Amino acid sequence: WPDRNLCYVRRVPRTGLWRTGAMLRSPGDPGDDERFVFVASLDNARNLSNLLKAIHFRDQVTFFASANGIRMTAEAAKSVQGNAFIQASIFQEFRIEEDSVIFLINLTVLLDCLTIFSASSLPGVTTALRMCYRGYGYPLTLFLEESGVVTVCKIQTQEPEETLDFDFCSTNVVNKIILQSESLRETFAELDMSSDVLQITMSPEKPYFRLSTFGDAGSTHCDYPKDSDMIEAFHCNQTQCNKYKISLLKPSTKALALSSKVSLRTDNRGFLSLQYMIRNEDGQICFVEYYCCPDEEMEGLDS
Amino acid sequence: GSDIIAGRKMRFLVAGGQNVAVVARSIQALAKVGDECYIQAFEDGLTLRTVNSSRSAFASFHFSPLFFQTFERGGGEVQGPSKVVMKAMLSVFKSPASAERGVELCKLVVNPDTDRLLVQFLCRHGVTKTHTLSVMDCEQLQAVYSRDSCTNTLCANPRLLADTVVHFPSNQEEVTLEVNGTKVMFRNYVEPGQDSHQTVLTEFVLTAPEFDRFSVQESSEITFCLKELRGLLTFADLSRMPVNIHFSEPGSPVIYSVQDSAMDATFLLATLAEDGTLCRGARGPSGNSSCVEISGMESVSRERGERGDSSGDLDPPSGPQIPLDISTGPLDLSVGDEDEDIPSTPPPKKIFRSLFFPSTLPPHPPSTPRHEVLATASESEDEI
């Protein structure tokens, strides 16, 4: 499980020199021998695109790269954040000339480019990817190759925005459950979306782990006993019952669908951390993480 | 005495994913017909029923106590049905396939005192899913009919029917079923006046040997709404149950049914009258033709508990028919009595008159005294 410090958010200072809206250089760019600030290559672009789909609930995402790897962050309503981590070791080539590189980019466009050769993934057929970035103001250049055909995409980059710091640290974790994703998938896929909230109860006593919705049809409770064979680890110290806006958590269903295991943690403020362990097509492990704050109005109320 | 004090809670336990899947499929079939699900427990089982908004289609699923691991309806008088919004039932019994895979037990508890229906699934890996729905008390929903009095009976493999209706587009509202000698034809219904040059006509011809049972006493051509029937056909196909079709002349409803040792389902569909105008679903000797409301609560109370009667022999009614009893409020039928005198073609949606519309204007006097569509017949008369 990733150390929270693996890819940390760094506040980007704003100076008068940095303008909003990056410039896209004209086609008359200098050639490839120009120094790139950041270069990364993958033999199979799906090892990146599949993971990014798991946080694709916003168009604009923050791209952050450091020597450790890449982290992409999507946020909504100042209440939920999704992070996809692809560590440097996943890449066949990974070079970064600065301490870090950060910009805002359109994830829809990025995904369209990464999947430009085939919408559905055909086993055995892969698209090779090389990502290059020359620095502030330059686009992110993608070279994609499949069966000898090469496509070059240049995606505009933009002024990065401050990302939320949920300040979620392990020492404040009150309850933690690690589950096999399989058992949670159906529950999440069938969530009653007419309910405003998803209520999560975690407790050392019954009902141990409960997901509840309160929709037009009525209420639904889905209970997992702590000794269920789907639960790998159950560390609940205190009964907590928190409500989260269901519309904010619903996108995490994609991450759940890709993952083999998921860890749910709540801290003393009722903030929720969901960590998804995802195996890519080459069997390597990557992580997607969601943070969500409890629905303010409901804070403190019991079910 | 003690029955009244003990409360009116009813508990039913369905064991096995396959059986829960049957319940889920029955609800999907009912949902193709109506928006509300009427749940009622009789001595001889649990029924789930619905009727469509124009009262021209009625569907009923009946599960005998054999179907359940536990069947506790509380002794004593049969209580009135509880009504649940169909959408809510659908969201609870979402996927028959996942029920089959993942559900071990399903507990249903109806508590009329708290107006709640509890549906609890005990699933794999110890997971428990508990749904609590609101229910409303309501009046009886029962269509009265007699299969035995139908002149024609067919029994078909559900695959045969599924393969036939698949050729009609999903938005095809009405189809015509014609039996003539040893041939059975299904065709899409084209309204008179519709430009036949612009319409695709589809006709399917089946012959007697293709049916498991073929008993045709009178050639007949009936037109009914296919949309509502599809639910039953899908159910029959997935449950692999042969489909029985009972019908007589145009204007009388057609009865589709399936059954096995533990459950049965009946779909009643109104048919177009021969002259193509509004069908007279029923007639009653003294029926008040303008009456769309319940003609007397006493006839209703007679209906209650009747299901449990062992008496199979029922005479043709001499008094007012027992109408469909939906609510105590005025029934809002889309087709009003005034339309009876209007010869113009009614809007497509309204061509099927309510099944349960007592009328004093029969298309033609019957040659033989036969049961009306609302002839009193308890289920026991039709049980095998």
Contact B279, B307 (CB under 8 A): no
Per-residue pLDDT at A23 exceeds 80:
no
| Cα(B57)–Cα(B229) distance, integer angstroms | 9
Global ipTM = 0.79
Contact A101, A67 (CB under 8 A): no
Reading the block at residue A130, the tokens are 């090389």
A217 contacts in chain B (CB < 8 Å):
85, 87-88, 91-92, 131, 133
At A263, the amino acid letter reads: S
Q: What are phi and psi of B130, to 5 degrees?
A: -120, 120
Interchain CB distance below 8 Å, A220 and B133: no
User: Of the candidates A186, A219, A222, which has its C-beta nearest B98's C-beta?
Assistant: A186
More confident residue, B318 or A73: A73
Element (H, E) at B44: none
Question: How many Cβ atoms sit within 10 Å of the Cβ of residue B213?
Answer: 12
Q: Which residue, among B188, B191, B177, has the nearest Cα to B221 in the 3D structure?
A: B177
Q: Average pLDDT of A155-175?
A: 92
| Amino acid A80: pLDDT | 95
Q: Which residues of B292-303 are buried (b: 16+ CB within 10 A; e: fewer)?
A: bbbbeeebbeeb
Name the average pLDDT for chain A.
85
Is A222's Cβ below 8 Å from some Cβ in B?
Answer: yes
Q: Average pLDDT of A232-252?
A: 95
In Å, how far from its chain's centre is CA B338? 27
Q: Return the residue matching tokens 């993971």.
A: A51
| Cα(A51)–Cα(A32) distance, integer angstroms | 28
B130 contacts in chain A (CB < 8 Å):
220-223
Lowest mean pLDDT among A21-25, A236-240, B234-238, B358-362: A21-25
| Amino acid A215: pLDDT | 92
User: Of the candidates A215, A221, A224, which has its C-beta nearest B130's C-beta?
Assistant: A221
Q: Which of A115-129, A281-295, B270-284 has the highest mean pLDDT?
A: A281-295
| Amino acid A248: pLDDT | 93
Reading the block at residue A49, the tokens are 């695109």
pTM (whole model) above 0.95: no
More confident residue, B126 or A299: B126
Per-residue pLDDT at A81 exceeds 70:
yes
Per-residue pLDDT at A231 exceeds 80:
yes
- Report, as ranges of residue numbers, the positions in chain B whose pLDDT lies below 50: 1-6, 277-350, 357-373, 375-384
Reading the block at residue A255, the tokens are 């991450």
Question: How many Cβ atoms sit within 10 Å of the Cβ of residue A228?
Answer: 19
| Amino acid B353: pLDDT | 55
| Amino acid A33: pLDDT | 44
Lowest mean pLDDT among A27-31, A107-111, A205-209, B170-174: A27-31
Alpha helices in B138-260 (DSSP H): 158-165, 226-239
B98 contacts in chain A (CB < 8 Å):
186
**Chain A: closest CA distance from residue B101 (Å):** 12
Interchain CB distance below 8 Å, B129 and A216: no
Q: Average pLDDT of A20-40?
A: 51
Contact A94, A88 (CB under 8 A): yes
State which residue of chain B sits closest to A220, comparing Cα positions: B131
A223 contacts in chain B (CB < 8 Å):
127-130
3-state secondary structure of A2: coil
